[in-house]
Structure 1
Amino acid sequence: MGFMAQPWKDPRTGTYYIRRRIPKDIKPFLPDAGEFHKRSLGTKDAREAKTLFAAAWGLSEGIFLNTRLQVSGTHTPTLQDAIQLAARWAKGELDHMESTGRFEGYLIGSDDVGHETLRDHFSVRNPKALLGPGGLESRARQHLDQTVADELAKASLPMPLPGTPFHKYLYEAFVVQYLELSEIAYKRHHGNYSAVLELPHEAPLSIDKTKAASPSETLSVVFEHWARNHRHMGDGKRDVEKTAGEYQTTIVRFIELLGDLPVKQIKRRTIEEFYNLLRQLPSKGEGLKGLNAHEQIARAKQLDLPSLSSVTIKNKLMGLSSVLTYAVQMEYIAENPVVASGITKSLRKASAKQSRTATRKGYTQAELIRVFSSPFFKGEWVPPRASFGEAWKWLPLLLCYTGARREEIAQMKASEVRKSEDGIWHLDLLGVSEDGADDDRTLKTKGSHRLVVIHQDLIDLGFIEYVEGLPASGQLFPALKPNPTGWYGHNFGKRWGAYLREVAELETPVSPSHGFRHSFKTMCRQAGIPEEIHDAMTGHDDGSVSRHYGERHLLKIQYEQLGRLPSTARLAGLIP
């Protein structure tokens, strides 16, 4: 699943609640709610709370959805809605009074006459008078406010803004029913059980009619709800956006192939049909970018293009499964048809078999030599567009000599290339700026923030001179601009892959950027560098190595050990 929300336990009372942040787009329209939507689950038992939580989450989602409908003008509650809500509440209150035999709650005690009705006590004929100045006392008004809010929540409706017509209708309708309940309570208290509480004929709310008439539970709509919550739970981090984007691609493919179906119509056989269509989609081929899914399948058959791997298909189905798991939690559907079909389970087994004979992930030494003796590094080729400045030269070299992730290098600041007190040049990967400012960069793992020594080959090639020519407060590669989701290396990665294929003519199954990370690990093992040292360099440890050696001593060890690696730059002719 994309997220795993849990019931919140009040530390004072031990009672469990649903507690979720109100989305920013509707927060201005729920001024009384504060930062969070919070409702008691009515239990102190953790297991029972989890059972109740999904329904409460669905209820809150309904409130948010209905708020959006009102804000967009798609739906505005009416006077009849107010009357129906008040009548439903009054019927429930009367049933409770008659089942318990307690009627005094809607009566006013008096020394002179014993008990009297609310109407007699306040001497009002017009219920509206109780809502004005000098009407209900503070405690009674708070009780009314809570009653109205609770009944709206039951119908997944937000509290209306004061001054709006529905706010006025709502309070007037509830005050009328308060007074009528008091009259009935007085008669029951004095033994009159024949009196009848006159209520309007029960009818659906207008919001229910709006929902029934709209395709509010199609796959695309459910995905939007999932994505909104997924992004909220991830607090806007870039890897969260990446996951949402990948899942969106799968949802778009599904809609292209089978239509934007209501999730209730997505059955096990639908998943099987989607799986069979995914198997026909091409994994690569020229001229595919502008084609929809059906057109791509036709092109693949015509040109005999390679199809998607079982691993890719499994990942796409798992993305769809996450969205449909959310649909189960929200009670849109009773089962997740992806899981129920068993297809992903079979694909996992197939992937496990493939992994035992997996393709190579790291570059060979011959391939590294080919990369760094290719036309660009010889000065024989100039990028035709999107030059990315000096990143073309230094980013691949840094990846090769550090084993870092592409984004870790791409997002660096010039000030994070540093020299230790011992004179060792190193990279402070994913470091925090001295002023503590949040520069919106993320750590992949606990060990991702680390110090990595700069290999002597890079220094000999002029990397330090390049850095010293940059503004210290700026980016290490100023020409790399973040894409809409904040990744500095994304666009470079695409062009680098194209360069290796089309210009360097490198035929390899290795990932263009990530392959350097795997080849670095392989070279370290072949050179006999201790695993804990190269794990610390690549961020595969949890920081324990730094704590064991101390960062200054670890830099010395790294420097010594890196000298054991083969000089790829010399072998490729970059260094005489």
Structure 2
Amino acid sequence: MPRCQGVQRRKESTNYRLRVKVPTDLLTHYHPRKEITKSLGTSDYRTACDRARVERVKLDQEFAEVRAKLAAQAHLRTSLTPTEVDRLCALVHHSMIQADEDMRASGMAVDDLWFQRMAAHHEEVEQVYRLALARGDVSVVASALEDWLQGHGIELDPSSQEYRTLAYAFLKSVIRAAEVQAKRHRGEVVDTPPTPAPLPGPAPVQTTAEGELTLSGLFEKWKDENAQRVAPKSLQEFTATIRRFTELHGDLPLSRITKALVRDFKDALLKCPAASHLPIKHRGKSIRELIALAEKDRTLSRLSTRTVNDKWLGFLCAVLSWGTANGYLENNPASNVKATVSKVQDKARVPYSIEDVNFILRFPIFTKGERPRAGGGEAAKWLPLLALFTGARLGELGKLQVGDVRHERDVWYLDLMNTGTKTQGSKRQVPIHPELIRLGFLEYVEARRKAGGDGALFPDRAGKPLDTEAWSKWWGRYARSHGIEDRRKVFHSFRHTVKDGLRDSGVPFDLRSALQGHAVPGVGEGYGQGFALQVLAEAMAKLQYPGLALSHILPVGSKG
């Protein structure tokens, strides 16, 4: 049989081993090793060859992951030139103005009163920014700047003078954008400026040792021609797509990118958690690390089929199609590679209908004072009601402290600034709906205050905040045992119900987003103090569910 490359007998042994040279571009990483040796654990040559092929595949994957990590480190910026500071600020200024124009161009379905309140809000935000600028207080844009830097792969020490210089310039750019938004709100014509050039990054390795163009090299050529015509956010998504592909397969020469590799990329994406459901600490992980995380935590929502097709595969196909049209490839290996979409879309989670909610509100926890042990006592009653009238996440509600229920300017609200929030945009104040007050929620809070001070609002048996993951599983079992059989309808379905309810109740998009803790990328309201508490309270009070029956629910303290 033909000789297997790299397979040879070990000295003073009958067993075979595999010896593979470390690729030239990775010698520094593996120093002082220049080759990698793997024991094949057999003295049979045919078996050794079979095992060697498997080991070579594993090593190729290892080399690809190392290259991806080195590429990510190479793109991570820790310092900025004055030109780069100007470019970053120009990009955020344009992003805010463009988002504002898109919102107005699509039509703002708000009544006169809301429109007047939005005008007052613009003035208030502008005053806050100007006062901060006068005092040299850059903390007002700190969280927004952090997100902006992360999006561009930049790390800066917040205590450094470099960061201070950037933050001050960033604040001025935000003020200029807020001025434009205010002028447009008064009916003045202010055009959106052309898209600034993207922030330049270090040039990747564009060719192999043999001089063949790689995927990253093709992408650089694509950017040279197309970057000015693509919105900054879309350009970031294109960049992320190429990065993810190279994380999975390495920065391959174009001739080695096959339809099978694109298919494998598609399959990997379908196993990845959605970024919007992912804690910030995990967002820097490689695609293989994200898949492992999703397999370990089954509660994480996966990327939807539509997102995989329209964004990730769509962006990859667009770059490779450009390469084909310009003679860098003979054909596009990503062409027609799509994730299958069923005719009836199988959603991971669907909202509870009003019929579902009325059915749930007839469970014994609401009608007979039943308090299952695994349901956390009073949490079994109040968490569903809170979810129905706030749209907050279970992780936010279950970890509330008594002191997080607050009263300010005649508004009772839940302070979710530090309670189980997932992202900076999730930090918010949520006014308590009048129905919750009518049902006795404040009396429950006062009883907890008398019993445990400012401890957990929904304590477990040890007095600590609930284990919300375990509680979510209990809710699923309990709801199914009482008649909610559709496994797509879970506790998180309340959040979708509220989203639909706010929209159907006529609450504007930006206020719906503020109440539920959704970031609105690029919109000026996301940079700064947000909506006034009274405005949020009035929006929350608008939430109604026609046909909802609540009169039968037992008051606080009743046991049936």
Normalised to the residue count of structure 1, the TM-score between the two structures is: 0.39
Normalised to the residue count of structure 2, the TM-score between the two structures is: 0.40
- Which of structures 1 and 2 has the bigger CA Rg? 1
